[in-house]
C-alpha cells in the first residue's frame, strides 16, 4: 500500500486484513497515517508501516518492494492516478514487462442484473486498437476465472450489430470473434459486434432475432473506447446503485486503482478482487 493516508483507504485495508484477505505493508507518511487511523477508530498497529513522507519516493519504494517479491498486490491511497501509473510504468524500475500492456477491469454488482458484470476498459486505455482489444479480453477473462466464472460470455459492444466500414469498432469486434473461434483467444465465448441491449437483455436479443450464445447473459463487456466504457460504468454506479471493484492487470501483480474519493466499501471490494486474481496466478 502506497500513500495510504486517507480514511477510506485505511479503513478498507484494515478490514481486508482483519478478514484474512491480505497482510498489509503501508509505505508513506507514518505520522499522517497514524493520526488518520486514530481519528477514525482504526488501530494503526494492524499493519507494518514504512515511513516515507515524500509521495514520489513512497510510490517508488512500494513498487520496488513488489518487484523484489515482498508483495503480491499494489494499491494506492492519496497519490494521484498519474503518479501511481508513472511508477508502475517506469521502464527501468516499474512493474510492466517490455512490450506489456496495462488494462483496467471493473466488476459490478448491479441490482437490476442477475449476475456479476465485468467491464473493460473504462479507465486506462483511451482508444484501444485491435490487438489491444484482444489483450483486454484476455485480461478480463483471467479476472472472470478468478471469480470462478470458468467460461464467461464476452460481448464486444458496438453501435453497429453487423460489420460496417464506417464503424471501426464493428470491424474489430468481428475480427476478435473470428480469432476466438480459431483458438487464438481462449477461455471465453465471444460475440460481436453487438449492441448493449443484446448483451444484457434476453428479450431484446429475441426481438432482434440474435442467435448468438449467451444472448442477454453477458459476463464481460468490452467497450470500443474509454468514453463508452466510462459513461456506462458511472451511470451504473450513480443511477443504478451498482457496487464495484476494480484493478489494473497486465503488470507483475494486480494493482488496485481506485479514485481518491471512492468509498471504503469499493476500496475493500477492490482489494478482495486483486487478492483473488493474485491467488489465481500463483495457484493458491
**Per-residue pLDDT tens listing for the chain (284 residues):** 888 888 999 999 999 999 999 999 999 999 999 999 999 898 867 778 999 999 999 999 999 999 999 999 999 988 888 999 999 999 999 999 888 999 999 999 999 999 999 999 999 999 999 999 999 999 999 999 999 999 999 999 999 999 999 999 999 999 999 999 999 999 999 999 999 999 999 999 999 999 888 899 999 999 999 999 999 999 999 999 999 999 999 999 999 988 766 789 999 999 999 999 999 987 65
Q: Which three cell numbers stand for residue 7?
A: 480514511
Q: Is residue 246 part of a domain?
A: no
Helix (H, G, I), strand (E, B) or coil at 181: helix
Model confidence, pTM? 0.92
On the CB side of 132, CA atoms within 13 Å amount to 19
Asked whether residue 259 falls in the same domain as residue 200, the answer is: no
Asked whether residue 14 falls in the same domain as residue 111, the answer is: no
Q: Which three cell numbers stand for residue 129?
A: 486498437
Could you say which DSSP state residue 199 is in? H
What is the secondary structure of 200-244 as a DSSP string? H-HHHHHHTT---TTTT--SEEE-SSHHHHHHHHHHHHHHS--EE
What is the secondary structure of 56-116 as a DSSP string? HHHHHHHHHHHHTTS-S-EEBSSS-HHHHHHHHH-TTTSS--TT---EEEEEEE-TTSSS-
Q: Is residue 62 part of a domain?
A: yes
Asked whether residue 126 falls in the same domain as residue 229, the answer is: yes
Q: Is residue 245 part of a domain?
A: no
Task: Residue 49: name the closest of 31, 63, 67 by CA.
Answer: 31
Neighbours of 258 (CB within 10 A): 25
Asked whether residue 16 falls in the same domain as residue 62, the answer is: yes
Total of domains in the chain: 2
Asked whether residue 127 falls in the same domain as residue 70, the answer is: no
Q: Is residue 247 part of a domain?
A: no
Q: What is the residue range of 148's domain? A: 103-239
| Pairwise CA distance, residues 122 & 93, whole Å | 26
Q: Residue 148 burial by CB count (10 A; 0-12/13-18/19+): exposed, middle or buried?
A: exposed
| Pairwise CA distance, residues 138 & 128, whole Å | 14
Kindly report the CATH number assigned to the domain that includes residue 55: 3.40.50.10950
Q: Which three cell numbers stand for residue 170?
A: 464493428
| Pairwise CA distance, residues 216 & 207, whole Å | 12
Asked whether residue 268 falls in the same domain as residue 225, the answer is: no
Amino acid at each position: 500500500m502506497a500513500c495510504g493516508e486517507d480514511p477510506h483507504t485505511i479503513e478498507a485495508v484494515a478490514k481486508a486484513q482483519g478478514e484474512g484477505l491480505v497482510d498489509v505493508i503501508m509505505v508513506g507518511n507514518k505520522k499522517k497515517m497514524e493520526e488518520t487511523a486514530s481519528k477514525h477508530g482504526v488501530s494503526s498497529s494492524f499493519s507494518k508501516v514504512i515511513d516515507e513522507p515524500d509521495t514520489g519516493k513512497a510510490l517508488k519504494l512500494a513498487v520496488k518492494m513488489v518487484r523484489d517479491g515482498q508483495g503480491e498486490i499494489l494499491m494506492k491511497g492519496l497519490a494521484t492516478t498519474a503518479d501511481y501509473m508513472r511508477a508502475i510504468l517506469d521502464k527501468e524500475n516499474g512493474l510492466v514487462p517490455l512490450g506489456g500492456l496495462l488494462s483496467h477491469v471493473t466488476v459490478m454488482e448491479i441490482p437490476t442484473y442477475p449476475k456479476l458484470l465485468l467491464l473493460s476498459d473504462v479507465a486506462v486505455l483511451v482508444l484501444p486498437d485491435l490487438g489491444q482489444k484482444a489483450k483486454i479480453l484476455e485480461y478480463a477473462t483471467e479476472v472472470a476465472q478468478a471469480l470462478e466464472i470458468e467460461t464467461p460470455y464476452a460481448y464486444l459492444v458496438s453501435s453497429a450489430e453487423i460489420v460496417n466500414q464506417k464503424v471501426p469498432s464493428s470491424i474489430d469486434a468481428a475480427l476478435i470473434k473470428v480469432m476466438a473461434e480459431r483458438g487464438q483467444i481462449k477461455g471465453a465465448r465471444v460475440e460481436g459486434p453487438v449492441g448493449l441491449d443484446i448483451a444484457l437483455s434476453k428479450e431484446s436479443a429475441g426481438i432482434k432475432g440474435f442467435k448468438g450464445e449467451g444472448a442477454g447473459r453477458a459476463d464481460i463487456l468490452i467497450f470500443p473506447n474509454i468514453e463508452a466504457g466510462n459513461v456506462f460504468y458511472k451511470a451504473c454506479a450513480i443511477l443504478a446503485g451498482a457496487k464495484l471493484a476494480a484493478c489494473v492487470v497486465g503488470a507483475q501483480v494486480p494493482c488496485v486503482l481506485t479514485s481518491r474519493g471512492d468509498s471504503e466499501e469499493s476500496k475493500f471490494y477492490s482489494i478482495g478482487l486483486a487478492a483473488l486474481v493474485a491467488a489465481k496466478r500463483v495457484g493458491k
